[in-house]
Chains A and B, each alone.
Chain A
Amino acid sequence: MSADGLILRLQNVTRRFGGLTAVDNVSFGVRRGEVFALIGPNGAGKTTLFNGITGLIPPTSGVVEFDGVDVTGLKPHRVASMGIARTFQNIRLFDFMSALDNVKVGQHCRMRAQLWDAILKTPLERREERTVEDRAMELLRFVGIERQAHNYARNLPYGQQRRLEIARALASEPRLLLLDEPAAGFTPQEKVELMALVDKICSQGTTVFLIEHDMKLVMGISRRIVVLDHGEKIAEGTPEEVRGNRRVIEAYLGKGA
């Protein structure tokens, strides 16, 4: 555990794709227990930054520190088992698995049954499967889609698919949850419900770090915000500070606005 209360610290993180610098020398920190938001116009490098943190596309240079441990360039599954879970901007559920099974897969890295346990159905495996099933149902209930437990993920309505992704991410018992545009395509009513869900997750002790376009939503739920534009960090602070920031207004509305 790091002494400064930061659960995630990014230091000079840069990601280049050939000649394009998608994330340019970005540094900031996420405090334990807060709801932290990353905003910025399209193409600002927000998702690339998430991919860098979770190891899907490791940063070209810079350091990602999770709870005081350097996780830069670790494989995605290692990052996940350390306690960082994520959702995806374009929903990436296991389409042809039931909602319940999706959440069970999320618990994979917390399960202990080995190959022999699985082949021979040892008591340990049976017990574990039962707890995994109970926990998965509990999570589906937590996000409010327990009635869909046995439906294929792809057959769920859009909003419920987003919720299922959150449930699946929570299944890996993360200490830090990364949500990539969780409210994309939501109606105002759904957005309100989502805010309540994020609040609930945060109050259970999971730090939430989210990417969001909707300024109103972001201002409502996050205590601190970082703004990216063209891969660079242009502002950081409370919603009020960010809202009044000259460069942020320029990034969103153009110069002279």
Chain B
Amino acid sequence: MIARVAALPVWLRENSRNPNALVYMGLVAVTLLFPTVVQFANPEQSITLINTAADAGVFVLMAIGLNVVVGFAGLLDLGYAAFFAIGAYTYAMLASGQLALTPAHHAVHLPFWLLLFVAVLVAATAGAILGAPTLRLRGDYLAIVTLGFGEIVPRLFRNLSSWTGGVNAISAIDTPSLPLWIDGPWDGGAPFQVVHDLKFTTFQPVAYYVLMALLIFVCIVLVTNLQRSRLGRAWMAIREDEVAASAMGINTRNVKLLAFSIGAAFSGFAGCYFGAKLSSVSPENFSFLVSVTVLLMVTLGGMGNIPGVIVGALVIYFVQYKILGDLPHWTTAIGSGIGLPARTVTSLSDLATNLNFVVFGLILVVTMLLRPQGLVPSRVRQEELTKGVHDEAVADVRGLA
């Protein structure tokens, strides 16, 4: 441990030109400083800002997960939000009064920390079940099937209203509480507190922020381990040349299934957190738009590169919720600033609201034109753009597809 700390300056010097290391350093610094800086710089909005940052983390988690599927294994998944929904509903059903209203007639209130793992398992299983029959498909066909799945799942949750409450959503979901061993009964019964009044409430989002930062940290470590393992290499090999990979002894079906399942697991993780934080889960939260947004984050950030997709997720989230959200605001300010009549200003700001997605689309198009390899690209992706890749499945060669 001491040796590792002592090696830090050396590591910093060696990596001072490595974009990935720089991005990680930047992310760590921003994550640590953000809550404090925000409280000083913008006290009246700090709660909202920290809340938003914690919400952005949900997308970071999903981008990391989808990157395993799309970036590492090269499988196009357009229904990723389905696993997000499955994770969120797993938590919602098992940590609220909802089950009392269903044919089960008995409310279940399991702790958040346990359900994090349950949600991961449920989502991973769902991923395996969906993947098993569909992963013999490839490219466009796989995309269509996953797209269908992404549409079916939220609809299922809406129409199974006797269980899920349907369009009425499940609300009053339990918020996480600190584990027993942290707010234990010592110190004369007073809860042990590192940060003053650290609780999971909407009015004090720091706890959520910290939790999210920890979750993301753990996920980055796990996925980096995966990428550098036998499995990570197998994914890359399959992406490069599936026929050669199978001839080298890689069980392509199982390895692809694992990628799909692991990707789903991260989405379930994010979903569980999402349900707990929002304290309400409705089928509307998991539209196709969510799947597309996460895919965008992966592509725009730098497919196959973990720090890249994190940056992609943060940038897109920022654009969507800050720039697009403030657009009508700015239009009004500029309009009245240059002395336009009040009615024109109002209609201009309405126009800005309506054109939200046009602006969003424009930003995306311009970014991809200027930087097709992504914001923080992987080395591979950068090289690939200069040359095509094999895209031929074992099944195609065998004439079975």
Contacts and interface: CB of A to CB of B under 8 A. Distances in A.
Interface of A: 17, 54, 56-58, 75-77, 80-81, 85-86, 88, 92-97, 101, 104-106, 108-111, 113, 115, 117-121, 125, 128-129, 132, 152, 154, 168-169, 171-172
A81 to B, nearest CB: 5
Most chain A CB inside 10 Å of its own CB: which residue of B230, B232, B236:
B230
Contacts of A85: 247-248
A58 B395 CA distance: 12
Given A105-B248, A113-B230, A57 B397 contact: yes
A56 B397 contact: yes
A182 B389 CA distance: 23
A94 B234 CA distance: 11
Interface stretch (B18-26, B237-245, B306-314): B237-245
Contacts of B398: 56-58
Nearest to A17: B399
Contacts of A115: 231, 258
Contact of B225 (A76, A105, A119, A154): A119
A88 B244 contact: yes
B249 interface: yes
SS of A interface (majority): helix
Contacts of A168: 248
B222 interface: yes
B225 A118 contact: yes
B107 interface: no
Nearest to B225: A121
A94 B237 contact: yes
A198 to B, nearest CB: 19
B233 interface: yes
B394 interface: yes
A172 to B, nearest CB: 5
A56 B394 contact: yes
B252 interface: yes
A207 to B, nearest CB: 17
Contacts of B222: 119-120
B233 A97 contact: yes
A125 B250 contact: no
A172 B249 contact: yes
B229 interface: yes
Given A77-B249, A172-B248, A108 B234 contact: yes
Most chain B CB inside 10 Å of its own CB: which residue of A104, A121, A132, A152:
A121
A54 B237 contact: no
Interface stretch (B152-160, B344-352, B366-374, B379-387): B379-387
Contacts of A106: 248-249
Contact of A97 (B231, B237, B249): B237
Contact of B249 (A57, A88, A109, A121): A109
Contacts of A118: 225-226, 229-232
Contacts of A110: 249
Contacts of B247: 54, 56, 76-77, 80, 85-86, 88
Sorted from nearest, which 8 A-B pairs have the closest CB atoms? A109-B249, A118-B229, A80-B249, A94-B240, A92-B244, A76-B246, A96-B380, A105-B237
Given A86-B247, A96-B384, A121-B225, 5 more contacts: A56-B243, A56-B246, A88-B244, A101-B233, A121-B229
B390 to A, nearest CB: 7
Nearest to A95: B240
A18 B28 CA distance: 61
A43 B390 CA distance: 24
Contacts of A154: 387
16 contacts: A75-B251, A85-B248, A88-B244, A92-B243, A93-B241, A94-B237, A94-B245, A95-B387, A97-B237, A105-B236, A108-B234, A109-B248, A110-B249, A118-B226, A119-B222, A120-B222
Most chain B CB inside 10 Å of its own CB: which residue of A56, A80, A108, A169:
A108
B305 to A, nearest CB: 13
